[in-house]
Structure 1
Amino acid sequence: MIYSENEILQYIDENDVKFVKLTFCDLKGRLKNISILSSELAVTFESGVRIAAKKISGFEAADGKDLFLFPDAQTMTVLPWRPQQGRVIRMFCYIRYKDGAPFEGDGRYFLKKAMKAAVSAGYCFRFGTSCEFTLFKYDENGLPTKIPHDNAGYCDTAPDDKGENIRRDVCLTLEQMGIHPVSSRHESGCGQHEIDFNASSALKAADTFLSFKSAVKSVAETHGVHASFMPKPLRTDCGNGMHISFNIFPDSDFLEERTSSSSDDLKSAAAGIMEHIRDFTLFTNSTVNSYARLGEFTAPRDILWAADEGSQLIRMNPDSDETPVELRAADCVCNPYFVFGLMIYAALEGMTAKSQLAEENESKGRLPATLEEAADCAESSGFIGKYIPEKILGTLVSCSRNEWKEYSAAFDKEAFEDQKYFYSL
């Protein structure tokens, strides 16, 4: 259900809501929030809540200016894992300067601009996601270990699959939040699981993805296990990816018939993404650890497409009416707002230029091999420079290069990655 601001204030009065979580992403996609008392929400809708920008990764780009969170009433949901007495609700926020101007590093604002560009060109995009994570045991001191929760494999059943009840509780929790997963299963890796979501508008799909991550982390903790979205938590096992599928509809037909765009448009859109994927790999794969996953098992390395399932970058699935194009490179620690937005812009450029898709399984190059290479590609890209504000790109590139230098200087690189990513991502 979508609420207005006044309806939310009424809901608070009638449902014993005591706290409101104002949620947003840093530049790299890590979820952040500030809690306020529900009695402060009416003022917050009007004036926002100030955040210390310099303490948030990537928000140094605000150059010391104050930033304010403004909740989006349409994203209100109750957090089911919090107490039912003194309830907690959550809303995603837009980020603005004191004068009301949007902050350039606000991913939700970036994605809304991309969606408007698509509508102006006569198109509407719908995105679906398939998201992987791994469950690990805690030690006797309550700290996460690198011991997987089980040793089951793809689509195995209980008792080998020890995460069945956890996935069930995640899905039921999401349903209580108004989010409806399509399916869930044990994946190929030890302790690895996947939950899939139907296609929706780009902004809703990005919000759903972040809500899903919060639900997984919270539910796993109640079951006494640690959930990790780290792209490659185990060197000898499958990594955790996010497959992003999409379809494109002519905007004039979308509400009436949902007639998807022509096959030629979809092929040109896929060609546009393939042409620019090296430019925005820094956004789809934003950590040092991300590049340990690419090229391993079925995670893609070569820039090619194919119809059958495999290790291709893009799968063109003509049998899917919902989402016939699937990008398989991204992982679950990305900022989905920037990733979906850049996918839209790349697809639009491909369709405008009527770009031709290469032959099936014909490689058009390789994805960057390291975070440093990905930063170089983004910094020198005319495509990225066209859509990502200069100071935001400069901040992200600088942050990524510093991360790469820290990793390169580390004596025990695996320990560095565990400390940097395993406990928090």
Structure 2
Amino acid sequence: MDLSQFPTIRVAACDLNGQMRGKRLPGSYGATLEDGSMRMPLSSLNVDLWGADIEDSPLVFDSGDADGVLLPTDRGPVPMPWLDNPSALVPMWMYREDGNPFNGDPRHALAAIDARFAAKGWQVMAATELEFTLVDDRGQALAHPPHPAHGRALAGEAILSVRQIDAFDAFFTDLYAGAAAMGIPAQAAISESGIGQFEINLNHQPLLRAADDAWLFKALVKGVARKHGVAATFMAKPFEDDAGNGLHVHFSVMDREGRNIFDNGGPEGTALLRHAVAGCIRAMPASTLVFAPHLNSYTRLVPGAHAPTGAAWAYENRTVAIRVPGGSPAARRIEHRTAGGDINPYLMLAVVTGAALEGIEAQMEAPAPISGNAYEVEGLPQLAADMASAIDAFAADEVIARIFPPRIIDNLCQTKRQEMARFGTIPPELHWQTYLEAV
């Protein structure tokens, strides 16, 4: 893409909360992005939801808030169809002055997991299912969106309703056109169980590309919604008495010959699949901070409310946290169903696939698969019940320490403690004003 054709461009890297941090530049700057002249403080990827520096952060106080070097990722520039004026976004990631990756960058954390698979001659293929809710945020309280035909607020659930999808046809037409322009492989869209809630599946891609697509798609959904007079949010729980937003990931692993290492020709899958499942189960409680990174996230994690809180697995069973879907053996894969829609895609995919690799390398043995309703099974290892517990578990777990570098672990814990303290000064009924578009 010739960036000089655009009056302005954006360059942005992903911070720990999944937000874009970067700059607006003249299009003529596009030719200079590869030379390392684009710089930002290393601490800019470790700010809280409001964009404030983390108190006592060593990135600020020990290093003098040193600059890092932003370089384009291999994702390449993409148009920004939600803006009124033509522009392009160039996804970037952060390096240190000496040319080494900055190990506080979430995308580098995922790249390190991807490299561990590549060292074995394997490639992870991943796909995400993203749920979001359209809302009316013009008042003092969040409200359900108006129906495009008559303007009255939506008042009822419409699970798998083609009529509701078609009511928002203009929005979805622009959304799919934007996804195509950005190279995001958007697939099926459905009306979900929440009021004004929808889900869109993205097609399987190599691991880093899948994370890039999810990150960019969240920005696209929010931007297109605004052009249609509503807001879109991936908050885990926009409304206390309605369904929450989840983000499921499906992944398989291919060898050098293009064979799926989880496929044994039958429905049960290989021993490698079961080792990967065991790793995911082992890491799940300590991974809660990644799956539920905000105070609002924990209002979704209620036992029996279609958000799995127990670390269990099964074949073709949607009540479990880890499902092995049926279908063709060649497509045998793991579906991880725990994360909320408010996650950072890079951290989420890193902890899921990193845990699977830990299970494979240690040849962990999975427990017996669950039969029946997993919500009724007692004694399962549980996700952390609140953010304070999640922070403590994430900071102390030995498997998490093998998946993420110390900088990511320390920064994320510091960030979440600071956010908890600030939210403590804000009335709970107003928390949505911070979360609405930030996540």
Question: How does the TM-score come out when normalised to structure 2?
Answer: 0.85
The 3-state SS of whatever aligns with 2:190 is strand
Separation (CA, whole Å) in 2 of partners of 1:213 and 1:175: 14
User: Which position in structure 2 is the counterpart of 1:128?
Assistant: 127
CA separation of 1:123 and 1:328: change in aligned 2, threshold 3 A: same
Q: Match of 1:281? A: 288
Residues 75/326 of structure 1: CA separation in 2 closer, same or farther (3 Å cut): same
Residue 46 (structure 2) aligns with:
57
Q: Secondary structure at the match of 1:145?
A: coil
2:158 touches 2:164 (CA, 8 Å); kept in 1?
no
Supply the AA of the counterpart residue of 1:400: K
Q: What CA deviation, in whole Å up to 9, does each residue of 1:252-303 have, x standing for no partner?
A: 212xx56755422112101111111112221122111111111352111111
Cα 1:246–1:61 change in 2 (3 A) is farther
Aligned counterpart in structure 1 of residue 428 of structure 2, from 408, 413, 416: 413
2:309 partner amino acid? R
1:118–1:344: 8 Å Cα contact kept in structure 2?
A: no
| Unaligned runs of at least 5 residues, structure 1 | 1-7
- Which of 271, 275, 279 lines up with 1:272 in the alignment? 279
- Of residues 118-127 and 154-163 in structure 1, the stretch that sits farther from structure 2 once superposed is 154-163
User: Matched residues in 1 for 2:348 and 2:231: separation?
Assistant: 26
Give the counterpart of 1:28 among 1, 13, 17: 17
Aligned sequence identity (%) = 26
Q: Is the 8 A contact 2:253 2:260 kept in 1?
A: no
CA RMSD of aligned residues (A): 2.4
Q: Distance in 2 between matches of 1:311 and 1:260?
A: 22
How far apart, CA to CA, are the structure 1 residues paired with 2:307 and 2:403?
A: 27
The reply on whether 1:344 has 2:344 as its aligned counterpart is no
What 5-or-longer segments of structure 2 have no aligned partner? 48-52, 147-153, 371-376
**1:93 and 2:92 equivalent?**
yes
Instruction: Map 1:21-170 onto structure 2 (within 5 A).
Output: 21-58=10-47, 60=57, 62=59, 63=63, 64-83=65-84, 87-139=86-138, 145-149=142-146, 150=154, 151-158=156-163, 162-170=167-175
1:168 Cα offset (Å): 2.8
Query: Does the residue aligned with 1:376 lie in a helix, a strand or coil?
Result: helix
Distance 2:261 2:318 in 1: 28
Distance 1:80 1:161, change over 3 A: closer
* Residues 36/280 of structure 1: CA separation in 2 closer, same or farther (3 Å cut): same
Moved more, 89-98 or 236-245: 89-98
Q: Report deviation, 1:21.
A: 1.4
**323 and 230 in structure 1: CA distance in 2 versus 1, 3 angstrom threshold:** farther
| Cα contact 2:103–2:408 (8 A) shared by 1 | yes
Q: Supply the AA of the counterpart residue of 1:200.
A: Q
Evaluate the alpha carbon distance shift between residue 420 and residue 206 of structure 1 in structure 2; reply closer, same or farther with a 3 A threshold.
same
Question: Quick one: which amino acid aligns to residue 303 of structure 1?
Answer: A
Q: Distance in 1 between matches of 2:37 and 2:395?
A: 33
Matched position secondary structure for 1:341: helix
Report what 2:230 is aligned to: 225
**Which whole-Å CA distance do the structure 2 matches of 1:287 and 1:405 have between them?**
12
Which among 196, 203, 209 is matched to residue 198 of structure 1?
A: 203
Task: Please give the alpha-carbon distance, in whole angstroms, between the structure 2 residues aligned to 1:66 and 1:229.
Answer: 31
| Secondary structure of 2:438 counterpart | coil
CA distance in 1, matches of 2:92, 2:34: 10
Contact 2:261 2:273 in 1 (8 A): no
TM-score by length of 1: 0.88
Of the three residues 287, 291, 298, the one matched with 1:291 is 298
Structure 1 equivalent of residue 335 of structure 2: 326
Between the aligned partners of 1:115 and 1:316, the Cα distance in structure 2 is 22
Aligned to 2:400: 384
* 1:25 Cα offset (Å): 0.9
Q: Specify the SS of the correspondent of 1:100.
A: coil
* Kept after mapping to 2: 8 A contact 1:132/1:193: yes
The separation in 2 between residues aligned to 1:385 and 1:160, in whole angstroms, is: 43
User: 1:12 and 1:405 mapped to 2: Cα distance?
Assistant: 42
Given that 2:75 and 2:212 are in contact with CA atoms closer than 8 Å, whether structure 1 keeps it comes out as: no
The answer on whether the counterparts of 1:48 and 1:71 sit within 8 Å (CA) in structure 2 is: no
CA contact (8 A) 1:19 1:38 kept: yes
Q: In 2, distance between residues paired with 1:61 and 1:332?
A: 30
